[in-house]
């Protein structure tokens, strides 16, 4: 999933009125392709509502730990 798609997915996840809060060009082909992809993956349900699958996926994304740089000897 691209950073663009993750940004939209997290916006949908965090806001019940996500359509009003996204500042994207909703007339673009990329927007419609992304929405169709989410519907195909069953991340969006009827009327573009969040599904349980979207909630579980976003929870998993949010629980990934931040990477830590460590120096190791070769």
Q: Give the model confidence (pLDDT) of 6-50 as tens digits.
A: 998 998 888 867 665 555 555 678 888 988 999 999 999 888 888
User: What are residue 52's phi and psi, to 5 degrees?
Assistant: -60, -35
Spell out the residues 6+ positions from residue 10 whose beta carbon is closer than 8 angstroms to its own. 58, 61
CB 44 within 8 A of CB 53: no
| Percentage helix, strand, coil for the chain under 3-state DSSP, each rounded to 5 | 55, 5, 40
Q: How far, in whole angstroms, is CA 47 from its chain's centroid?
A: 17
For residue 24, what pLDDT is reported? 54
For residue 27, what pLDDT is reported? 63
């Amino acid at each position: 999933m691209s950073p663009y798609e993750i940004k939209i997915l997290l916006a949908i996840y965090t806001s019940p009125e996500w359509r009003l809060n996204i500042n994207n060009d909703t007339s673009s082909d990329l927007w419609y392709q992304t929405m169709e992809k989410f519907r195909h993956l069953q991340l969006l349900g009827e009327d573009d509502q969040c599904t349980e699958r979207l909630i579980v996926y976003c929870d998993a994304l949010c629980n990934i730990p931040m990477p830590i740089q460590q120096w190791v000897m070769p």
